[in-house]
Each structure stands twice: as C-alpha cells, then as structure tokens.
Structure 1
Amino acid sequence: MTISTDLAYADRLDAQDDLGHFRDRFMIAEDELIYMDGNSLGRLPMAATELATDMIHQQWGTRLIRSWNEGWFTAPERIGAKIAHLIGAHEDEVIVAESTSINLFKLVMAALRLQSGRAHILTDDLNFPSDLYILQGVIELLDKQHQLEIMPSADGVYGPVSALQARLSEQTALLTLSHTVFKSGYLYDMAALTAAAHDAGSLVLWDLSHSVGAVPVDLHAANADLAIGCTYKYLNGGPGAPAFLYVRRDLQEKLLNPLSGWMGQRDLFDFKLDYQPAPGLRRFLTGTPPMMSLALIEPGVELLLEAGIDKLRAKSLRQSNYLIQLWQRELEPLGFTLKTPREAQQRGSHVSLGHQEGLRIDLALINDMQVLPDFRAPDNIRLGITPLYTTYRDIYQTVLRLKAIVTERLYEKYSTDAPIVT
C-alpha cells in the first residue's frame, strides 16, 4: 500500500472502510480523544450499557434468585461457546471462569499431573510476566520437583523459535507461550510449535490474551492442547472481566482441576461431602461466577462475531501497515525505532515504537495531545489497533502528535518517574 501523509488520505481510507460503522456501536464519550489502548482495555459496547441496566433492574432487582435458572447458571458455557467460534474450537471446549492467572494455574497444575515423570517446563522471556509468576508459584507448590527454562529472545521482538524447538525433549512436560507477544506484537506460528512439542511428547498451553478478537486463531488446526485468555482487551468485556480457558475434548476427562469447588462438582445441589468432578469442561469451574461482570462480556463477543474475525484481521493488517509506513516516513528520522515485526504474518494487532525518551513521550501524548496509548518498559510505546473502532484518522493524528512532541521537545517537562499504571 502506497500512502500519502495528508489527513485527506486517511479520511478517504475511513470512507472506504466497510467495518467503520461498528464504531457507532461503542460509547465515545470524548470526541477529541484518540484511544490507542484497546489492546489493554477495550471500549464499552453500547449494548453492554443496556444489558447492565437490565441486569440490575430486571434480572437482579426483579427476578432475584430465579435468574439462576433463567440464564445465569449456564452463562459460563454459553459465552464460552461464542468465544470458541473466534478461536477455532468446539463450543464445548471453551468456558468462562475466574481470571487469566487462575485459569493458567489450574491448567498448568492439571497438565503437570498428567505428565508425571517429566520435570521440564519451557517458555520464553517474551511471555507475559504474570504467566511466569504463576509457573514459578506452581514449582514452589510442587516442592521444586520441576524446572522452568526461559529461553531468551535475541532482540526482544521475535520469539526464539529455533531455540525453543531445540530445547524440547523427552523431559519436557509443558511448553507455554503467549501466542501474540505483549510488548512487540510478535505472533508465533501456533501449529508449527505445537507439532514440535507433540513430537517430544510435551503438552502445549497458549495464552491468547493479545490474540483473541484481533487475530484469527485455529486451535483445532494446530491440534492445541490447552489455552487461556482474557476478555477485557479486544473482546471489550470490561475491566477485570472473567477470563476463559480451552481444553481439547479428548483431554477433558483426563485433567483434574486443582481448585475443586462447588461449581465444578458433578451434582452440586446434592451437597455431598465428597468432591466428584463434573463431566466435561464444567469441572474447571471453581467458585460462583460474578454474574454482573460475566454477563457484560457477551455483547462485545457478539459484535466480533457479527463483524467476522477474518475481516477484522484484514483491516488490522491494513491499519498496522499504514502505521508502520507513517513511522518510517515521519518518526524514524526522530529516533523512534520499530519494535514490532514488519512481516504481516508475524504481527498481531498492536505496534510498538521505541524511543530513548519513551516514557516521557508517552506522558506528553496522554496529557498534552489527547491520545491514550500505553507504555511498557524500558522504552515501548504501544499503539493498539482495534479494528471495530480504530480509524485511519486516529492513526494519522497519533503519528503527527508523536512527531510534534519530539520536534517541540514537549516531553522535557515530564519526570522519568512512571505512574502506577502505564
């Protein structure tokens, strides 16, 4: 795509966008604000505000406990089944439960139990740190009977594919990676790495948090074993919304939830004193779901299904390519580096730009330029492209405002002390 650097060109691209009308389905409270952080927290779907009102006044206020038999109890499976269509899974292989970290803990513990006799856990240093914290905690809990190996990326952008494949062995119990890397947006070849792990007898667990809703995922085609993911990024499910987990059908009866709880009990209203896991994926539920936040995931998922993940991916790639070309023309001469793969097939839906003054530039962008990105140490300014509502005008204006911050040295008034949330 050959680009022009004027605003009229961006507006022409927006006029030609057949997904552009979906932006009207989200709350846009500040017309002048450019939101480039949907890869951290998605915008609020208008349908979710209507559902929230109904949840409070009708389902909770009027129907009270009767609502458990009117859709609440089956919501984890119902919403999970819809997410399944976005990630290439059967409807009965995905369920919404607890948080991403808790789901990771449950599946890692279950996988290691199934892989008894193997002590090696393999990941990379591009994985989300909280995933590593869970792995480290599991090892402590299991009396340090397992070893975690973290393979380094050579450049902090691309995954160490060859090194990971070389380290797989008959001792590897589990390979676990982020499908889309949170800093650089690097996208792993799920099928190739899963096949390599299976050749070594290892299970594979994928974190889909930065993929689901933005990148086509086909868990079946990759023969993936396990996966987790959050719902508050590209799924637009709301802050702290419950996460989801995936377990391939043939593994469901072989794996046990280490957090055995009431919602995962076979006959939960028999109130038997001995735990018996429910059949299928419901065994991976633990506590009573938080119905308000759980229910509000559904409108965002339905918007994505309506738009179609392939169309969303095509737009995402066009927009990220547009952003990268603008970076090369306008920002690279000012010291900005591209910290995201140029290759479309290896790129998720956010673009990271590095700069030695990255933090202070980020603060100026937020406070002076009405652009909301996020920042990841040491120097990554992440620009999230969420095709349901990100416009080409948003991208164009973001690049010009980044340029102005540096050329006018607006960042110099800011401290290098990072805020709590970046």
Structure 2
Amino acid sequence: MAGAWLLGTEADAARAPAKAVLVAVREEEDAGAPGTELSLAELRRLADTDGLDIVEQVVQVRGRPDPATYVGSGKADELAATALRADADLVIADGELSPRQARTLEERVGVRVVDRTALILDIFAQHARSSEGRLQVELAQIAYQLPRLRGQGQALSRVGGGRVAGGAGIGVRGPGEMRLETQRRKLRQRAGSLRRRVAELAKRRERTRDRRARNRVPSVAITGYTNAGKSALLNRLAGARAGSADVLFATLDPTVRRIDAEGATLTVTDTVGFVRHLPHQLVDAFGSTLEEVRHADLVLHVADASAPDALDQITTVHGVLHEIDAGEVPELLVLNKTDIAPPEWVAALRRAHPEAVPVSALTGDGVEELRNRLAAWAGSHHR
C-alpha cells in the first residue's frame, strides 16, 4: 500500500489499491533500446512493491525532457486525458523531476505527480524496521522535500507524518513566504536532530566493528542489486531457511551473522540492495549503514544471473560502491539464481567475470564451492 507521504493524506493511503500511470521520456536514439523497456519494467516492479496498481504507461520520444512539463505541452494534455480515462490517483515519472517540472505537470494532469526518487523513498519508508532505518529514511525524505516546498504546502504534511519516524506533521498549509521559511526552518531543525541521532548509532556500530577487528574475525558484506537474492544466500550460508521475499528492497536494516566456512569463522552482513538511479538522498542518509560495506574485509557481490540486464546491474552496483568509497574493497562476485537462468546467460556472465561463483540460494547448488572460496579467503586474509 502506497504511503501517505507519496499519495498525500492518510485517507488516500487507506484506499486499496491506488491507480498509477507510468510516464517516461526517451531520446530518439534510445527509444527502441532494451534499456528503455528494462527501466520501465523496473519502475513497474517498484510501483508494484509499493502496492500500486499500474493502469497505463505513456512514453514520450523527444530530444530531451521539457524543462517545464517533462513530457512537453502536447504530451502533457495526452497524459491528462489518459489519467482521467483510467481514473488514476497519481502519475509516476521514470526519472527525477525538478520541482518546477513536478509542479507544472501536476497542474496540467490534475492528479498527484511523483518521480522515481519519491517512489523509492516511499518503499524505503515502508520497509524500514529498525529505529535507525526509520531515522535514515526520514532524513532522506526531508532532503528530497526541502527544495520542493514552494507551492506544495499540502505536501509538507507528508514529511514526518507518514510511515517514517518523527511523529508530528510539521507542514501546515498556509500562504506567504514567512510560512514557507518557518516550514523550512522546522525541517532543517528536524534534519539536524536526525543526523545527531544517526551519528550516535553509527558510533555504536563502529565500536562493534572494532571489537570484531580485535578478535580478528574477518568481515564480509553482502551487497548487490535489489532482489538479487542476498538475504536468501545469507540464510543458506548460515544454515537457515533459504527463502526470502520476492520484492524489491526487502532488506533495509543490516543483519549480521556469524557463519562457519570449512572451519573458518567470519561475520557476514546483509545490506540494502542497489538500483538504477538510487536517490542520492538515500546514499547520503544511509551513509552510516553503508559503512558496513566500506569497512568490510570482503564484498560478496550477489548478482541475479536470470536478469536480462545482469551485466548492467553489476555495473550499477560497482558505480554505487565507488560512490560510497567502497570501490577498493576486495570483491567476490556470486552469480545467483542459476536454477532459473538460461545456461547461455550464465556462460556469458562467466566469460565476462571468470572468477565469479555460480550458485542457487534456492536449491543450494554451488553453495559448497562458495563456502570453500570464503574459507580460502579467510585463511589467506589472516595469515
């Protein structure tokens, strides 16, 4: 169920399911490219994860997004007719809209308009379970909302009043620059308070890492594209049930487990999955959590071998790892879901990445080889 932060009010969020229209702008040379359809398919998965019912899809081919309406004036009218015909509750753009684009398009279409970033933030708000996760999500939402305050007084009540921690709704609808400045000040104050609380939790996690280092326990961080099967693989390595939720961003809060790999003991941390165009607000807000990756002795990069764009997903993950200063951490690539991946796809991935370990977290195939590789690494790491 899409949350109040995305839809606008608690009453809106209570309706099931909300109807959404997807819209994308593609340059002419990219209009027929596989990446275009894959990006829209991923947006559809994101919307489905957030409990939305996708009723229509509109693609505009033009040189570049229109600075005022994103899709252009004529297409905006067509989009308005589509939303009206489908009785849609909101429109979701496959990209990040500027405040001006979102505001103008919303006026033209007549329903709430959000972008990919807002959708991902809403999913994170839904899935964060720990207090730290909720704090970090709210911090990311505030960072996203601050530049979008002007002309969106109603939207202000979503920050701090939807799924995220923080309690009181701090946006009160009202005219005038003075009211806007008051709202900005309250949001900045709230953000400052959140950063201090997140920093305190980060220090606590740092002390835990220091204890592990003193005890010479090798640390492994599982990372990868969202829904690649990271949690299922961790469960399999730990001897627990291998199944996990088949949704995007099922894991937001780090889970640390000790596992034995052929006599070697190591800690394995499950971390948040990455995605194309991961909002920079989230990367910043989750900085303390992502330190688990930066400070790991090894990154266990899990890729979905059954994904048609697996190579692109691997590249996306490498980009995020460099963005969070974890690009130099040693990496072991794991090709998961080989039980459902076409053999020729797995073979192509292994040609591109000869050191990768093919596994199936679901069936257990290849997991023993992975254990052996981890044991060999742990032994050489602590000689």
Above 0.5 in TM-score?
no
TM-score using structure 1 length: 0.29
Structure 2 length as normaliser, TM-score?
Answer: 0.32
Larger relative contact order (C-alpha < 8 A, sep ≥ 6)? 1
